Structure 1
């Protein structure tokens, strides 16, 4: 009879989420390895490291803490991490945490199926990586300026940091506009008379714009370095 009980337990685990903290929970992964999360047919998410169910908010917290994870469909084994991350963004936006301007979303949607679609992900990664590096520098500058003395000493520095953040956002918007030469209000691209022109010229122009953006980022970093120490009394 013990054998039939074991068979019943096995068949139950194949079609339903495991019980939190049960004996069938996966062992903790090696340090630094991404946490494996499984999504079941009832749309519940199961963290195999913590042996517990989690919500999208829990996963968002893990992202903010720098903890990597992957999400698999429990039935098919398909990697659905991208889909789940997108759901997290939709939830955050619905709460009023608006990071994605409407114009940006329209531009992004327009690139689906476009000939430049394959370039957009890498370009966005480059732009966001640069922005993230600037954010870390701004946070460090703010902490150094505060120096444990309280908010009054940080006020001038916060103003500088806010201005730098606005410049970063403007640069990101400009970066996306490089991929929209036919956007409303865009200047007509200049073409030398008699030149073959075509896609080759467009690629060279894009490269020049990217190089210009890199120079501006370098200048912004240098300006931030000069502005950092000025907040002290």
Structure 2
């Protein structure tokens, strides 16, 4: 075990989930709710939720429950179409690519958010209160959405280009093999 792994294991907060659906925070020695776990997420706390009986890691299922609560109350982040598209990726050959794609894009959004926060903190902190900051972000949202649309379009174009290159490489690699229904290369060139 590396030093970093050992350190992160020591600082990881352990939450136990009991059969009665109650969550027990071993650090505070108290029962907590999903709202408390949401607060841990917002505070960037390092935690793990485990089944008290089996020791199975339940962190992902608890995080999904929090997302479900957020989606059913207030303003949802995902449209029904987006959720249906995500479901369609399960069991599909592109499932692993989709997970990585979503994770990387969320990281890009977080990096953009952090950078905007850093840049604006020094510039606007002295001049703006929380209300003015919220208004500024409302004005910036369309520009940010346009930037993300451009990013997504560039990603799509890059993916299509990569797919075309892979098809060409595959075609070149198997060009010498006589597959049924495929005319030999020399015959194609003469036509």
TM-score of the two chains, using structure 2 as the length reference: 0.69
- Whole-Å Cα distance in 2 between the matches of residues 45 and 109 of structure 1? 28
Could you tell me which residue of structure 1 aligns to residue 23 of structure 2? 45
Could you tell me which residue of structure 2 aligns to residue 161 of structure 1? 140
Aligned residues: 160
Could you tell me which residue of structure 1 aligns to residue 188 of structure 2? none
Task: Establish whether residue 54 from structure 1 lines up as the match of residue 20 from structure 2.
Answer: no
Shift of 1:31: 9.0
For residue 86 of structure 2, the aligned residue among 101, 108, 115 is 108
Q: How does 1:68-217 map to 2 (within 5 A)?
A: 68-151=46-129, 158=137, 161-167=140-146, 169-170=148-149, 178=156, 200-201=166-167
Shift of 1:58: 0.4
Whether the 8 Å CA contact 1:138–1:161 is kept in 2: the answer is: no
Deviations 1:187-228 (A, max 9, x none): xx89xxxxxx98932999xxxxxxxxxxxxxxxxxxxxxxxx
Whether the 8 Å CA contact 1:145–1:153 is kept in 2: the answer is: no
Shift of 1:99: 1.6
- Whole-Å Cα distance in 2 between the matches of residues 119 and 108 of structure 1? 12
Could you tell me which residue of structure 2 aligns to residue 17 of structure 1? none
Shift of 1:150: 2.8
TM-score of the two chains, using structure 1 as the length reference: 0.57
Deviations 1:66-97 (A, max 9, x none): 10211111111111111110001001112114
Cα RMSD (Å) of the superposition?
3.6
Change in CA separation of 1:113 and 1:169 when aligned onto 2, cut-off 3 Å: same
- Whole-Å Cα distance in 1 between the matches of residues 16 and 96 of structure 2? 29
- Higher RCO (CA 8 Å, separation ≥ 6 residues): 1
- Whole-Å Cα distance in 2 between the matches of residues 85 and 125 of structure 1? 15
Runs of at least 5 residues in structure 1 that lack an aligned partner in the other structure:
1-28, 182-188, 191-196, 205-233
Runs of at least 5 residues in structure 2 that lack an aligned partner in the other structure:
1-6, 171-191
